[in-house]
Amino acid sequence: MDCRLIKFRSFFFYYRRFFGPALLLSFFLSGISGTIDLQRIGVLFFFLSTFFQLVLYEFFYKNDYIFYFHLGWGKTPLWLYSILLNGMITLIMMLL
């Protein structure tokens, strides 16, 4: 398998772990305020996904980084790309 494809796939698995919970909680928190507001969900998602990433990978699963190191990822790029993707998803939600 191509090296770039391996990196892309492994980032997807890294990101997937906190994407789902952050998105669900964003919808839930926005929902309990009475309206489904995509702008609010977007902002909530940005902060919650960063929070989940911090809690999951810096406290509960910090040894997982060794696996990602073997696949060509450093800790800083994983964080940077995640925040970038969070920002893009937030922006899309705000523009919808």
Tell me the site size for other proteins, rule CB under 8 A. 19
The residue among 47 and 67 lying less far from other proteins, judged by its C-beta, is: 67
State phi, psi for 34 to the nearest 5 degrees.
110, -30
Residue 42 contacts residue 93 (beta carbons within 8 Å): yes
Residue 22 contacts residue 45 (beta carbons within 8 Å): yes
x/- mask, other proteins, residues 43-62, rule CB under 8 A, reads: ------------------x-
Exactly one of 20, 31, 74, 87 binds other proteins (CB under 8 A); that residue is: 74
* Residue 8 contacts other proteins per CB under 8 A: no
Please identify which residue in the block is written with the tokens 């995509």. 38
Q: Which tokens belong to 48?
A: 């919650």
Q: Which residues bind other proteins (CB under 8 A)?
A: 1, 3, 6, 9-10, 13, 17, 61, 63-67, 69-74
